[in-house]
Amino acid sequence: MEHGDKAGGSSSSNSSSSSMNSIKSRGRSGSSSSRGRVEGGKRPKLAVWKFASCDGCQLSLLDLEDELLELADAVEVAYFLEASRAVVKGPYDISLVEGSITTSDDVERIRRVRKVSRYLISIGACATAGGIQALRNFGDVKEFTNIVYARPEYISTLERSTPISEHVKVDLELHGCPINRYQLLEVISSILNGKRPNINSYSVCMECKRAGNVCIMVAGGIPCMGPVTRAGCNALCPSYRRGCYSCFGPSESVNIRSLSNRFRELGMDDGSIVRVFRMFNAYSQQFREVAREEEVGTQ
């Protein structure tokens, strides 16, 4: 089961159908003046770029099995090495960027990507928050490479793994590890139709309540990051009585300090609280601040 696939009327499923309706209606109009078409009636060019990542977010695009053909009809897939070696030269109308910046080459490359992109969308926890590889940001990267690699002198890497937005202007961020494919469809469809994407900004708790779940934190004393985590997965883990570990990262305007206090009341020690905020979105500003405060508190 994947993010957004859970059965039972979900916001994500609704997003999916509305996205596809949009693509369909735009396709039916078929005229060069429709908003989805660029000048000259050509299909908008889509590019997908990879930086330091596992490819899982790119695969979310290919996982859109039922909608992929229609999407491919609405845009020209001009650069997507995961799917095809054929490359159409830029500039590109929509660039999806997966992965974090971890080398000096990456820094140069993302600037070039920005220059040839009309809309640049960063997708996934790696691209929006540095990813799991940003755990290096809290240690000594030289020490890590010395331990991990037989010939560490061959390794060329920056000290920190950073999100795309630290280097170039990003038009929109899509969160998750991996992202919800229907949210991605909603974003692409919205750009094609010149409207604001309908991506929820509330927390997983809202989805959890909507699913009719009994709260595992209130009723079972199981630590859960749902209250501070951005919605998008239809409360997948709490629906199976597992605490959320925040693969979608911090939601907007949430009281993270209050949740860490609650975790302490539930019996978590200081080190465990630091680690719960240091996962896929460890370098997001909200999580790194609270983890740092907790860490300082333990010293």
How many angstroms separate the CA atoms of 135 and 278, rounded?
A: 7
Which segment (136-144, 182-190, 211-219, 262-270) binds ligand SF4 by CB under 6 A? 211-219
* CA gap 105, 100 in Å, rounded: 12
250 binds ligand SF4 (CB under 6 A): no
| Count helices and strands in the chain by DSSP H and E runs | 12, 5
- State which of positions 98-117 bind ligand SF4 (CB under 6 A): 98
CB closest to ligand SF4, residue no: 226
Q: Is 97 in contact with 127 (CB distance < 8 Å)?
A: yes
Instruction: Tell me how many residues contact ligand SF4 (CB under 6 A).
Output: 33
Q: Which of 4, 36, 238, 250 binds ligand SF4 (CB under 6 A)?
A: 238
Question: Which residue from 47, 126, 134, 164 is in contact with ligand SF4, where contact means CB under 6 A?
Answer: 126
Task: CB nearer to ligand SF4: give 192 or 208.
Answer: 208
- Beta carbon of residue 78, minimum distance to ligand SF4 (angstroms, whole number): 21
Assess 199 for contact with ligand SF4 (CB under 6 A).
no
Contact 15, 183 (CB under 8 A): yes
Cβ atoms of 131 and 280 closer than 8 Å: yes
**Whose Cβ is closer to ligand SF4: residue 44's or residue 263's?**
263
Q: Does 236 bind ligand SF4 (CB under 6 A)?
A: yes
**In the complex, minimum distance from the CB of residue 168 to ligand SF4, in angstroms, rounded to a whole number:** 18
| Range 198-201, long-range pairs (CB < 8 A, 24+ positions) | 198/15, 198/18, 199/15, 199/174, 199/232, 200/11, 200/230, 200/231, 200/232, 201/230, 201/231, 201/251, 201/252
Q: Which of residues 28-67 bind ligand SF4 (CB under 6 A)?
A: 53-54, 56-57
Give the containing element (helix H, strand E) for 174. strand 172-174
Binding residues for ligand SF4, rule: CB under 6 A, are: 3, 53-54, 56-57, 98, 124-126, 131, 177-178, 204-205, 208, 213, 215-217, 224, 226-227, 229, 233, 235-238, 244-248
